[in-house]
Structure formats: C-alpha cells, structure tokens
C-alpha cells in the first residue's frame, strides 16, 4: 500500500510540474493528471478490498477450511 | 461449464470514481457471480502508462485504446468462444500477459468506452451510462481520496479541469447511445447546498427499444411532480420529491424519472415503490428488498441506489426475454 502511495505522490508532483510548465489544460497536463486519477482509483479499490476481507476468519479459514472454527454445514 | 445458448452482453459506461463498482456489485447480487463475468475495458489499452505519457494522451483518448481487439474479443465471447484477454495492471501501469476468459451467460463490459466503437455497440444487448455532474464528482472524489496524504481540493479540481476536454470529446457523447442514463446532480431541496450528501438523480430511459419498457410514475406519458410526504407519510428534512415526464435526449424520445432527496426509512421507500409501474419486479417490494440487502453500499438511501437497482431489474428482464426467445427455437430443431 505504501508503494502505491509513493507512486501517487510522485505522479502528483509530476502533474503539478507539467501543468506549470505547459499549461493546466495542455494535453501533456491532461495525460499527467490522468495518471494520478488512475492510481488513486486503484488505491481506492485496494482499500475497499482490504476493508471487505474479514479481520480474522477470512484469511484463516481460506487457509484452513477444515478447522473447527471454520466448518459451516449448509443444511 | 457448458457453452451457453445465448450470451447476453451488457455495457456499463462511466468515469472512474463514479460509482461503477457499486453498480457492478448490485448487478452481481442480482445475477450471481457464477452467471456473470465482468470485463474491465482498461485491459484494451493499446498504450501503457509510459506510452501515454510520452505521446501526451490520456486513457480517455481513443488513440490509447485498441478497439479492433476489443471488438474481436467481445464478439468471440458473445459467440460462446473462449478468449485470451490482455490485462492492464493499474498499479504498475503495464500491460501484463493475457488471461483466459471463458464465455458466460452474462458478460458485462465496463469502463470508459463500452459505447464508443460502433461495432461493439451493435453487439450490446443493454447499456447504461453513469453520468455524474461535476459538482458531485468533485465531492465524491474528495471523499474517495481523503485517506491519501497530501491530497487537496485543488488537485481534484486540477485533475477534472485537465481531463475535461477529452472527457467531453470521447466519453460524454456515449450518453446518446445508452438505453439508460443515470444522472446524478446536486439537490434542489436545500438552497445553496454545498455538502452534496443529498442528491437529485434522474433515470433517463430510452423509448422504443425492443423489449425494454421504461418504468413510470402514476400515468405513462404524463408530466408529474410528486411529493410523497404528507398525512400518509412523515418525512424528515429535506424530504423527497419525485418527478416524471417525457423528454428528448440526443434527438430521441426518452422518459425521465427523477428522485430528489433521501429515504430515512423503509416506509418511505416502499411507499414510493408502490407508486411506480413497470419496474420489472417479481414480487411486491422487491426493489426495496434489494436495496435493503445492502444498506452498506453507497447511495442505498437515495435515488442513486434506487435507480441502480431498477436498472438491474431492467437488465434482468432483458436477459430473461432474450434467453426465453432462444429456447423455443432450440426446442423445435
């Protein structure tokens, strides 16, 4: 997660620099901000997936589906 | 899995951060993940992140996308063939080695350009465009990116401004081709609202499409404004206001259903559902029931959730119509 945060930060700085150099509505600025957008969307997806996985039983029961704590008989 | 008789192809168009994933979750709840395969159209980027930067084009630009491959593969899936689809890795920005995708009963293609290419459009059985007004988009993006450090309001604004020309040129015109457009706007119930928590949402439904009957309020074809709050129903501030009426949109006939405000409780929601017609529900209260199954999804208490579920029900009706049409033919052979 910290890796993608670093990438976002880097992309943001780049976008700011390009916007200043070539103009806020130049195609290059658009491309640079689009990268920020894409990374932020990805970070948000990852966050969502993380919050969806159950804190303990999710991972534990994926690895040990036969453990007593994980057995659920659908009957 | 056996080859499905009829593959139903659904297109979902929208910008990132516009609630596409919530809508797709609602569809998955309705159809089940075994019956439905979702394909993200970012996988058809022809230029990776580095390539786009060098060429000075955004992912919104058609030049960054391989529509020929998209068409070939979507067509193959619709014919019940297995494909090897490329993968665009959103974290690295690189195009990864392809993965095998098996055909399924329902294939959903979602992304920025499901309705851009005429050939792909022809293949679609049903399509939706998620349209978010800029003011609401800004509020949602700020909320989404709040957890990031260094994020600021100015950045969100700069990003929207910079991407706007491509958005207007390549993404927005797809609205004119969609069967349903869900448009999200700031509320009119609260004067000078800046919170953007209460929303005015329109369901713009195309008329005259084969087998798709738009939902309506009270009387089909009339123009109606309705405030359901009164003696029979007590609503808290700012209340709910519905509207319905015919209109023209990109040169064709549409019926527009609108909900402004938010639902505080089950009574309000079921009261509204009871006055809507042609919702394609299978039992009374199904629309409300589906919404309440996932109160945790964003928009479940306002028009966005209501219209997303209603759109899902329309898709289910289209799916049932298309698959049942096919069955008698197969039986007679």
What are the tens digits of pLDDT across the range B28-40? 999 988 999 999 9
Asked if B21 reaches chain A (Cβ–Cβ under 8 Å), the answer is: yes
- Please state the pTM of the whole predicted model: 0.90
Contacts of B16 in chain A (CB under 8 A): 37-38, 41
B15 token code pair:
């910008």
Residue pointed to by tokens 């019940």: B80
Cβ-count burial B223-244 (b if 16+ within 10 Å, e if not): eeeeebbeeeeebeebbbbbbb
Name the more confident of B2 and B239.
Answer: B239
* B312, B250 Cβ separation under 8 angstroms: no
Give me the long-range contacts of B43-48 (CB less than 8 A, separation at least 24): B43/B85, B43/B86, B43/B87, B43/B88, B44/B69, B44/B70, B44/B86, B44/B88, B45/B88, B45/B95, B48/B88, B48/B93, B48/B94, B48/B95
Q: Tens digits of per-residue pLDDT, B51-86?
A: 999 999 999 999 999 999 999 999 999 999 999 999
Arithmetic mean of pLDDT, B317-331 = 74
Three-state secondary-structure class, residue B296: coil
Of B153-167, B250-264, B270-284, which gets the smallest average pLDDT?
Answer: B153-167
* B107, B9 Cβ separation under 8 angstroms: yes
Nearest by Cα to B126 from B325, B311, B290, B284: B311
Alpha-carbon gap, residue B194 to B135, rounded angstroms = 9
The whole-angstrom distance between B155's CA and the closest CA on chain A is: 8
pLDDT of residue B2: 55
pLDDT of residue A48: 78
Q: Tens digits of per-residue pLDDT, B98-110?
A: 999 999 999 999 9
Q: In chain A, which residue's Cα lies nearest the Cα of B145?
A: A40
Alpha-carbon gap, residue B275 to B243, rounded angstroms = 12
* B162–A9 CB contact, under 8 Å: no
Q: Tens digits of per-residue pLDDT, A9-25?
A: 888 888 888 888 888 88
Q: Tens digits of per-residue pLDDT, A30-46?
A: 999 999 889 888 888 88
* B65, B113 Cβ separation under 8 angstroms: yes
The answer on pLDDT for B45 being more than 70 is: yes
The whole-angstrom distance between B298's CA and the closest CA on chain A is: 12
B residues 114-173 closer than 8 Å to A (CB): 141, 144-145, 147-150, 155, 158-159, 161-166
The whole-angstrom distance between A69's CA and the closest CA on chain B is: 26
The answer on pLDDT for A1 being more than 60 is: no
Q: Tens digits of per-residue pLDDT, B260-318?
A: 999 888 788 899 999 999 999 999 999 999 999 888 888 888 999 999 999 999 999 99
Three-state secondary-structure class, residue B201: strand
Q: Choose, out of B24, B45, B159, B166, the residue to mutate when testing the contact with A (most A CBs < 10 Å).
A: B159
Q: Tens digits of per-residue pLDDT, B209-234?
A: 888 999 999 999 999 999 988 887 88
The whole-angstrom distance between A11's CA and the closest CA on chain B is: 11
CA B143 to chain centre: 20
């Amino acid at each position: 997660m910290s890796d993608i945060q670093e990438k976002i930060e880097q992309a943001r700085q780049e976008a700011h620099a390009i916007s200043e150099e070539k103009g806020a509505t130049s195609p290059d600025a658009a491309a640079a901000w689009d990268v920020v957008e894409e990374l932020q969307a990805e970070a948000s997806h990852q966050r969502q997936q993380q919050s969806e996985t159950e804190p303990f039983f999710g991972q534990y029961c994926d690895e040990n589906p036969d453990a007593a704590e994980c057995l659920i008989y659908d009957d | 899995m056996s080859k499905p008789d009829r593959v139903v192809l659904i297109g979902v168009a929208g910008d990132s951060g516009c609630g596409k994933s919530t809508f797709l979750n609602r569809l998955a709840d309705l159809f089940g993940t075994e019956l439905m395969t979702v394909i993200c159209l970012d996988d058809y980027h022809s230029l990776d992140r580095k390539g786009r930067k060098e060429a000075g084009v955004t992912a919104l630009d058609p030049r960054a996308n391989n529509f020929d491959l998209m068409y070939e593969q979507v067509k193959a899936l619709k014919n019940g063939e297995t494909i090897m689809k490329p993968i665009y890795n959103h974290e690295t920005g690189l195009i990864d080695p392809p993965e095998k995708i098996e055909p399924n009963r329902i294939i959903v293609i979602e992304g920025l350009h499901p309705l851009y290419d005429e050939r792909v459009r022809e293949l679609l059985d049903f399509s939706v465009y998620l349209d978010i007004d800029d003011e609401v988009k800004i509020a949602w993006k700020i909320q989404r990116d709040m957890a990031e450090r260094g994020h600021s309001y100015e950045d969100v604004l700069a990003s929207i401004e910079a991407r706007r020309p491509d958005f207007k040129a390549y993404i927005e015109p797809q609205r004119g081709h969609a069967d349903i457009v869900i448009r999200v706007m700031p509320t009119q119930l609260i004067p000078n609202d800046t919170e953007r928590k209460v929303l005015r949402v329109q369901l713009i439904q195309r008329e005259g499409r084969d087998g798709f009957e738009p939902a309506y309020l009270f009387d089909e074809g009339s123009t109606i404004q309705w405030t359901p709050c009164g003696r029979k129903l007590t609503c808290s501030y700012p209340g709910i206001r519905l509207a319905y009426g015919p209109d023209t949109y990109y040169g064709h006939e549409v019926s527009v259903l609108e909900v402004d405000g938010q639902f505080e409780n089950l009574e309000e929601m079921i009261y509204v559902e009871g006055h809507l017609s042609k919702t394609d529900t299978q039992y009374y209260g199904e629309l409300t029931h589906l919404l309440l199954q996932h109160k945790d999804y964003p928009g479940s208490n306002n028009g966005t959730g209501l219209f997303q579920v209603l759109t899902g029900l329309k898709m289910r009706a289209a799916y049932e119509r298309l698959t049942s049409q096919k069955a008698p033919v197969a039986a007679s052979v």
